[in-house]
Structure 1
Amino acid sequence: MNKKKLAALLLGGVAMSAILPQNNTVNAAERLQTVVMTDGEVDDMDSFLRFLLYINDVDVRGIIYSSSMWHYKGDGKGTEFESNMKWVKEYHPGKHTDLRWCGTDWIKEYIEKYRSVYPKLVQHDKNYPTADKLQSLVKVGNIEFEGEMAKDTEGSLWIEKLLLEDSTEPIHFETWGGSNTFARALKSIEDKYKGTAEWQHIYDHVGKKAILYNIMDQDETYKKYIAINWPNIKVAFNKEQFASLAYIWNKVAPASQQPYFGGKWMKENILQGPIGGSYMTYGDGHKLAGDPQDVFGDMEKAKEIGFAKYDLISEGDSPSYLYLVNNGLRSAEDFSYGGWSGRLSPSAVADNVWEDNLASFDYNPELGKKDRFYSQTRWIKDLQNDFAARVAWTLKDYKEANHAPEVKIQEGLDLKVKQGQKITLHALGKDPDGDKISYKWYQYEEAGSYGAKVSLTAKESSVSFTVPQNISSGETIHIICEVTDSGEPPITRYARVILQAE
């Protein structure tokens, strides 16, 4: 959606006694499965360019065009459609035969740019898939109208196939637009199996396998079909927090973080080469065919709304996959842990749903209060420097580029502790490029259930503290070890230690 709409929507000794089974290496090789579903707005395209540089960190199973309340193709027959969604009624009232549709070529075009830098990327990580592999995963889903899920499409059938695979390994479905193609796949499964002897098994299997990450509700298919008929599916619902990386970032990001979205920094660090050079920013002269509301490339328009040349426009969809990057924050284990995708908390009204509700607010030291956006904006510097390093990978050989440090915690990542117990944690960091490493320790207070501060004494690679006497059995304390290398740009990785009171 555009900035105006989004603004209207949003502003207003050592505890070793019981170490749980856990890989102590933070940057372990496990890659989570994911499927992208996109409606093809300017921020989708910029999110996709970043995604291509992190595609080595996930096991991508599909890249699917879908529609949304903001973008749809139409059926080519002149059929008119009128939305039931409040925001569309306000900004695009009446009936439309199509709406701001940018076509079904842009993904493949970007993958061809990826092909041109693949020989560089694969030097840095052999897990980068080939361009041919990625092209084979691009499918067209339900794109004719907002929320259309009446018929099977190439994209919905692909999702159906993935959900019915025998493996129970979860697949994370990223909803950058509407959830209608995903909903159609579920409806097809229901139509085929409900009422049969296989139905309960199929229903349970899909519920265990599918994890849906919604950036807003961009059509009615989640509310009217998925939530009602598939309440066993785990859902992350990011209604507002994503704005930290979206069109109103200049109003919600802390002052200390804003320079990393500013034009000077973006020009110097991101807008380079086939991938970074395709990234769209304010006042860069771009204009998307098919979307008359894409005026962001016009410098005069940018000035009118308070942005400078090359400032970030939006990456509002990136939170749907940044939590999948295994940076040591362990945010894929539980949405409430928090990380590069922000932090979500369990819904008070629906099971299996995590939301950016009041419990997801983090304390913002720059404002001196809890902030609905800070669980996302606190990571901007780190995620942007990391992005800059990935852009450099597209241009440089391995020996010329910077790579992420690694960190282990000697005592493990999951510890059982007792009231009053004295704890010392030791971090073991190393850097593949031989760079110096700095250590920083802190408590992520909001992520733990103890709910109060713990006094830490940090000495470089170790930290000591005493477990509070008033902690209750089962309550948790989250301690983060942050390691940053001295390379250019500096890259940060983490180790999250979760202590649970016996």
Structure 2
Amino acid sequence: MKLLVCAASILLLLGQPIFAQKKQPSAKARTIVTTDGEVDDVDTFIRMLLYSNEFNLVGLVYSSSQWHYKGDGKGTRFTSEMENTAKRYGERTDLRWPGTTWMETYIDKYAQVYPNLIKHASGYPSPTYLKNLVRVGNIDFEGEMNHDTDGSNLIKKILLDNDPSPVYLQIWGGTNTVARALKSIEDQYKTSANWAAIQKKVSDKAIIYAVLDQDATYQKYVAPNWPRIRVLYNSDQFWSFAYLWPRVVPTELQTYLKGAWFADYIKFGHGPLLSSYFLWGDGQKIAGDPEHTHGDLAEAQKYKLSQYDFISEGDSPAYFYLIDVGLRSMEDVSYGGWGGRMVRSATNPYRWEDGKTVTDYDPYTKKQETAYPQTRWIPVLQNDFAARADWCVKPYKEANHAPAVTLNHPHDLRAKPGQQVTLSGSATDPDKDKLAYRWWQYEEAGTYKENVTINQADQAKALVNVPGNALAGQTIHLILEVTDQGTPALTRYQRVIVTVAN
């Protein structure tokens, strides 16, 4: 996602449709982050550290992109392969490079709040563990993948290890360091007798979550040479968490992204990690990036933004997707969840996309909107962020913690047209807060595209009638949403999928 000034042109990019990956419910997803260090990557990284207990980080890798590269130190001049960037910057020896120490800087700040975080939840990785994950990948130029690096070697090692569980490769910048790892595997094994087995092993493990194409290496190398690597491609939905949010997020939800909210719940009084979070007009400046002017209040006012307004976390959907809140979207990304909703490409069965044809109904604009599969979660995501901010500084009893939600029947049910289905769930809250129940239909996630009536939708036990015109094999997605009455209010879910029987 890069740059407010050229975001409008990037927004014109579109994909087609999403994803389907079964996972062991008790296992945390393994994931590697690759990042070019843009301001929105830094903010994404800061929030991600607060959720690092929810997945298994196995690599943190500096990489380049069309917007950020170091140069080779020899004065070599480079012109972008990406049309927008080539026109904007022309020939360069380096571009807006933020260096290769900033992740360690924020891990040091995480270390200062880590003793408090572990009072609130188990599974937080130690600062030492996180620092040991950091590697420098391919950073000399946009799309550079000609030589092995510590970062590409780490990715290669994990893709070749004997753990068959998926490895989610988060692409916050360019794909080039991942591409180099794959090219190194190909170079080593392509002429060997077990190449087919190696290629299948890696393809079965690797899952790329990319936010736009920020270099050409996926299209030029990964797609043609590793066609069975699964890809989740986010080209539209991330904008609700990126630079263009004022144009994308309905006015009614923008409160959660405005300066007053961030000042109260995130920026101040929550320890050194969150005091470093970048916001409009906050006076902060990223070294090495002359175009990071967001901290200048006059610059904010030029764009009609207020002090401490949200800038961007355009890459956060890549790890939101890995947080298990009961929505089952890691089973199939077309179900929709905190990381968005995508559908399988009509031309590539290993690729899932959002784009202009993947929309959810926005009750504020009363239209189908391309960003709303992500936008719809803003209130719960921001409240959850605010609770984690409290975890940095408050004792357990003074902070809020999410309820645990369960179903009293299987997650998948079958029912005939006209049949009444009883839905039943329950929830407990670690803070003994009162709980509010709400059952609702996620119409776009199901294949039965009409509204169903849910009786007693505000109770733990609800009733729904399968419509008489529903066809065998169609699915109806019903969400049990439970919200506590703590501060900030926190929400968790369970999803029931009703398949229409003959």
**Matched position secondary structure for 1:280:** coil
Deviation at 1:29?
4.9
Shift of 1:469: 2.2
Residues 449, 475 of structure 1: 8 Å contact kept: yes
2:120 corresponds, among 108, 117, 124, to 124
Secondary structure of residue in 2 paired with 1:113:
helix
1:356-435 mapped onto 2 (5 Å cutoff): 356-435=354-433
Letter aligned with residue 130 of structure 1: S
Amino acid of the residue matched to residue 489 of structure 2?
P
Match of residue 36, structure 2, among 13, 36, 39? 39
**Contact conserved, 2:438 with 2:458, CA < 8 A, in 1?**
no
1:302 aligned partner? 300
Residue 358 of structure 1 and its aligned partner are, at CA, apart by 3.4
Q: Secondary structure, in 3 states, of the residue corresponding to 1:358?
A: coil
Aligned-partner residue type, residue 299 of structure 1: L
Which residue of structure 1 aligns with residue 162 of structure 2?
166
2:474 is the alignment partner of 1:478: no
Residue in 2 that maps onto 1:135: 131
Does 2:13 align with 1:9?
Answer: no
* Matched residue, 1:69: 66
- Give distance in 2, aligned partners of 1:5 and 1:173: 26
Could you give the per-residue CA deviations for residues 276-298 of structure 1, whole angstroms, max 9, x where no partner exists?
Answer: 11100000001111101001000
After superposition, give the CA deviation of every residue in 1:237-296 in whole Å (9 maximum; x if it has no partner).
Answer: 111221110011011001221000000000000113112111000000011111010010
CA distance in 1, matches of 2:266, 2:252: 19
Q: For 1:329-373, what per-residue CA distance to the aligned partner results, in whole angstroms no more than 9, with x for missing partners?
A: 111111111111111111122221111123421011111110011
User: Which amino acid in the other structure matches residue 393 of structure 2?
Assistant: L
1:216 aligns with 2:206: no
Distance in 2, matches of 1:138 and 1:417, equals 50
Q: Tell me which residue corresponds to 2:287.
A: 289
> What RMSD over aligned residues (CA atoms) do the two structures have, in Å?
1.4
Q: CA deviation at 1:453?
A: 1.1
Q: Following the alignment from structure 2 to structure 1, what is the Cα–Cα distance between the partners of residues 473 and 73?
A: 58
Q: Is the counterpart of residue 345 in structure 1 residue 343 in structure 2?
A: yes
Q: Give the whole-Å Cα distance in 2 for the aligned partners of 1:485 and 1:446.
A: 26
1:22: how far off? 11
Question: What is the total number of aligned residue pairs between the two structures?
Answer: 489
Alpha carbons of structure 1 residues 62 and 11: separation in structure 2 relative to 1, 3 Å: same
Out of 203, 221, 243, the residue aligned to residue 207 of structure 1 is 203
Equivalent of 2:260 in 261, 264, 272: 264
Distance 1:268 1:171 in 2: 36
Amino acid at match of 1:150: N
Indicate the SS of the match to 1:416. strand
2:91 is equivalent to residue 90 of structure 1: no
CA distance in 1, matches of 2:390, 2:193: 54
TM-score by length of 1: 0.95
Which letter does structure 2 place at the counterpart of 1:479?
Answer: L
Secondary structure class of the residue paired with 1:446: helix
Provide the secondary structure at the position in 1 that maps to 2:92. coil
Aligned to 1:274: 272
Aligned to 1:114: 110
Q: Partners in 1 of 2:360 and 2:28 — Cα distance?
A: 28
Distance 2:356 2:213 in 1: 19
| Alpha-carbon distance between aligned partners in 1 of 2:10 and 2:180, rounded to the nearest angstrom | 28
C-alpha deviation, 1:202, in angstroms: 0.6
C-alpha displacement of 1:480:
0.6
1:324 to 319, 322, 326: 322
Gaps of 5+ in 1: 13-20
Look up the equivalent residue of 1:43 and give its one-letter code: D
CA apart distance, 1:473: 2.5
Look up the match of 1:17. Answer: none
TM-superposed deviation, 1:459 = 4.2
* d(CA) in 1 for partners of 2:458, 2:172: 43
Counterpart CA distance in 2 for 1:11 and 1:326 is 31
Q: 2:414 & 2:201 partners in 1: Cα distance?
A: 32
For residues 52-107 of structure 1, give each alpha carbon's deviation from its aligned partner in whole angstroms, at most 9, with x where no partner exists. Answer: 00000000010000000000001111111111201102322x21110000001110
The residue aligned with 2:236 is 240
Q: Is the 8 A contact 1:347 1:357 kept in 2?
A: no
Structure 1 stretch displaced more, 465-474 or 72-81: 465-474
* Aligned counterpart for 2:438 among listed residues 437, 440, 445: 440
Equivalent pairs: percent with the same residue? 50
Secondary structure class of the residue paired with 1:191: helix
Task: Report the AA paired with residue 67 of structure 1.
Answer: S
Partner of 1:335: 333
Quote the residue 1:177 is aligned against: 173
**Unmatched tracts of structure 2, length 5 or more:** 14-21
- Give yes or no for contact 2:436–2:458 (8 Å, CA) kept in 1: no
Alignment-derived partner of residue 16 in structure 1: none
Q: Distance in 1 between matches of 2:500 and 2:187?
A: 47
Secondary structure of the residue aligned to 2:118 is: helix
Kindly state the Cα deviation for residue 11 of structure 1 after the two structures are TM-superposed.
Answer: 6.2
